[in-house]
Amino acid sequence: MLELQRIRENKEEVVERLSVKNFDAAALVEEIIDLDLQRRTNQKQLDDTLARSKQLAKEIGRYFKSGEKEQAEAVRKESLSLKEQSKAFSVQLDKIVKTLNAKLVELPNVPHPSVPRGKSDEDNEQVYSEGNLPELAENALPHWELADKYKIIDFDLGSKVTGAGFPFYRGKGARLQRALINFFLDEAIAAGYLEYQPPLMVNEASGFGTGQLPDKEGQMYFAGLDKLYLIPTAEVPLTNIYRNVILKEEDLPVKNVAYSSCFRREAGSYGKDVRGLNRLHQFDKVEIVQIQHPEKSYETLEVMKEHVAVLLRKLELPFRILRLCGGDLSFTSALTFDFEVFSGAQKRWLEVSSVSNFESYQANRMKLRFKGKDGKTRLAHTLNGSALALPRIVAALLENNQTPDGIKIPKALQSYTGFDIID
RNA sequence: GGAGAGAUGGGUGAGUGGCUGAAACCACCGGUUUGCUAAACCGGCAUACCUUUCAACGGGUAUCGGGGGUUCGAAUCCCCCUCUCUCCGCCA
């Protein structure tokens, strides 16, 4: 969530910038400022009452010790009435704080000044592209037909055993998955990231910390008996490692990477978007996360972008980078770049990575801070990016590299797969 | 799943109703001393909110796993929850 101080001191700017996200924050911001004022007034009253109570309690102690029972009794009476007062203040303060927090959570992150206005993904701004679009024969097959032809992915079997969106990978298909995971992890480790194997289920506090809860509750699978959520991305456990942590400035940046399966309910998706590997309920992804000094986070965002670009280059996939417009930007993000690869037979761009700077928005929710060299404690900035999500990479690899002899594996991957063609 | 023990500041650990936001030691930071290093000595060392003619030095409140209760007063007593450890059961 946004920092209260920022809302208080830059009210107009916050409202104006949030309008880029097509979010009308004017009324909400006023409410928050008003609640904050109430909170402070109330707190002052409570604190004063408690301070007096403490004083009296000490007096009573002294009287009892010196055996002055009568004085003690008198003071005790006063203290008793103070107790009622402070109870009332405390109940009211609690109510105000709860309302204030609920309102604060409704406020999305403020977009970076470079974020263009726009309604939907059609308004995203292409900032870079690389590689030539593949020229495939007219009868080129989409990946789901290739998957079937070479018996490397079985969607029907997944439907039988689990449900739609939970495919089986088999033979060279399974090995290709394993190869990609190892390739991505090795690249991240070489770039200085520390590898984690995180839990695939998280508790409610973690879901709140990275911003999945409360608003995106319906997107996560929930194990109700134990109140645990299946992670939609490794970002959740990987970032929540630092929930309620105060790092030292010299520990920054923290660079973590994790491979994990990801689970998404994807309620409301349909049509060509969910065909084959285009959108799954369970998929594999390697995720990179950085925790960085506020003054360096945008530099870092560029570095992370380049990391993803290198991966796609090594996989010889044509890709483009989009700067998400306000309308397409997620609730918690200040600036996001999407990477899309061109999938030759479907003739469409598929999103394979999303690299974001959340500034202090997640950090404020989870109280992730660092102590500066000046001794002051400040919120850190969090960033993350997919590097990369597997299914659509596989879709593009299959489609773009199909030949009459089989599907060619890019050079960089061959030492990982142990084969250079799927036939 | 059953039985028991426990959770205190960065770490170890004292503290069973008032003088404890919390001893001591270690770690860390600053200083003195010192050929250098080390040692010794002195000082500092949590977080949040409030207070904004407090520039600075401050003042107030809360926090001893989390929540609730008893009491004029709770780290200390009571209840609930979470987690950790030990033993038993089960098991990849």
Which residue's CA shows the smallest distance to C1' of B50? A44
Distance, angstroms, CA A215 to C1' B63?
A: 30
Distance, angstroms, CA A373 to C1' B57?
A: 22
Mean pLDDT across the stretch A35-42? 92
CB-count burial class (<10 Å; 0-12, 13-18, 19+) for A235: buried
Is A307's CB less than 7 Å from nucleic acid strand B?
no
Question: CA A235 to CA A386: how far, in whole Å?
Answer: 9
Reported as a pLDDT band with limits 50, 70 and 90, residue A68 is: confident
In this predicted structure, the answer to whether residue A227 has a pLDDT above a threshold of 90 is: no
pLDDT of residue A376: 81
pLDDT of residue A271: 72
3-state secondary structure chain A: CCCHHHHHHCHHHHHHHHHHHCCCCHHHHHHHHHHHHHHHHHHHHHHHHHHHHHHHHHHHHHHHHHCCHHHHHHHHHHHHHHHHHHHHHHHHHHHHHHHHHHHHHHCCCCCCCCCCCCCCHHHCEEEEEECCCCCCCCCCCCHHHHHHHCCCEEHHHHHHHCCCCCCEECCHHHHHHHHHHHHHHHHHHHCCCEEECCCCEECHHHHHHCCCCCCCHHHCCEECCCCEEECCCCHHHHHHCCCCCEEEHHHCCEEEEEEEEEECCCCCCCHHHHCCCCCCCEEEEEEEEEEECHHHHHHHHHHHHHHHHHHHHHCCCCEEEEECCCCCCCCCCCEEEEEEEEECCCCEEEEEEEEEECCCHHHHHHCCEEECCCCCEEECEEEEEEEEEHHHHHHHHHHHCEECCEEECCHHHHHHHCCCEEC
Mean pLDDT of chain A: 92
pLDDT of residue A250: 83
Pair A403, A422: CB distance under 8 Å = no
Q: Strand B within 7 Å of which CB atoms in A 334-363?
A: none
Q: Which nucleotide is nearest to A82 (CA to C1')?
A: B72
Could you tell me which residues come within 8 angstroms of residue A65 by beta carbon, excluding any fewer than 6 positions away? Answer: none
CB-count burial class (<10 Å; 0-12, 13-18, 19+) for A175: middle
Is A33's CB less than 7 Å from nucleic acid strand B?
no
In this predicted structure, the answer to whether residue A354 has a pLDDT above a threshold of 90 is: yes
The model's pLDDT over A336-348, given as tens digits with 9 standing for 90+, comes to 999 999 999 999 9
Distance, angstroms, CA A242 to C1' B75?
A: 27
Mean pLDDT across the stretch A15-35? 95
Percent of chain A residues past pLDDT 90, beyond the cut: 69
Pair A115, A326: CB distance under 8 Å = yes
Tokens of A3: 């920092």
Could you tell me which residues come within 8 angstroms of residue A146 by beta carbon, excluding any fewer than 6 positions away? Answer: A152, A398, A399, A402, A407
Mean pLDDT across the stretch A66-77? 81
Chain B bases closer than 7 A to any CB of the protein? 18, 46-51, 60-62, 72-73
pLDDT of residue A268: 72
Q: Strand B within 7 Å of which CB atoms in A 217-246?
A: 246
Reported as a pLDDT band with limits 50, 70 and 90, residue A406 is: very high
Mean pLDDT across the stretch A149-174? 95
In this predicted structure, the answer to whether residue A67 has a pLDDT above a threshold of 80 is: no
In this predicted structure, the answer to whether residue A225 has a pLDDT above a threshold of 90 is: no
Is A101's CB less than 7 Å from nucleic acid strand B?
no
In this predicted structure, the answer to whether residue A277 has a pLDDT above a threshold of 80 is: yes
Is A61's CB less than 7 Å from nucleic acid strand B?
yes
The model's pLDDT over A95-151, given as tens digits with 9 standing for 90+, comes to 999 899 989 999 999 999 999 999 999 999 999 999 999 988 888 999 999 999 999
The model's pLDDT over A368-392, given as tens digits with 9 standing for 90+, comes to 988 887 778 889 999 999 999 999 9
Residue A369 β-bridge partners: A246, A379
The model's pLDDT over A286-300, given as tens digits with 9 standing for 90+, comes to 999 999 999 999 999
Is A83's CB less than 7 Å from nucleic acid strand B?
yes
Domains of chain A, CATH where assigned: 4-106 (1.10.287.40), 121-422 (3.30.930.10)
pLDDT of residue A217: 80
Q: Which nucleotide is nearest to A203 (CA to C1')?
A: B82
pLDDT of residue A413: 97
ipTM of the complex: 0.85
Mean pLDDT across the stretch A77-82? 85
The model's pLDDT over A388-399, given as tens digits with 9 standing for 90+, comes to 999 999 999 999
pLDDT of residue A336: 98
Is A163's CB less than 7 Å from nucleic acid strand B?
no
Q: Which nucleotide is nearest to A58 (CA to C1')?
A: B18
Distance, angstroms, CA A54 to C1' B20?
A: 14
Mean pLDDT across the stretch A207-233? 86
Is A192's CB less than 7 Å from nucleic acid strand B?
no
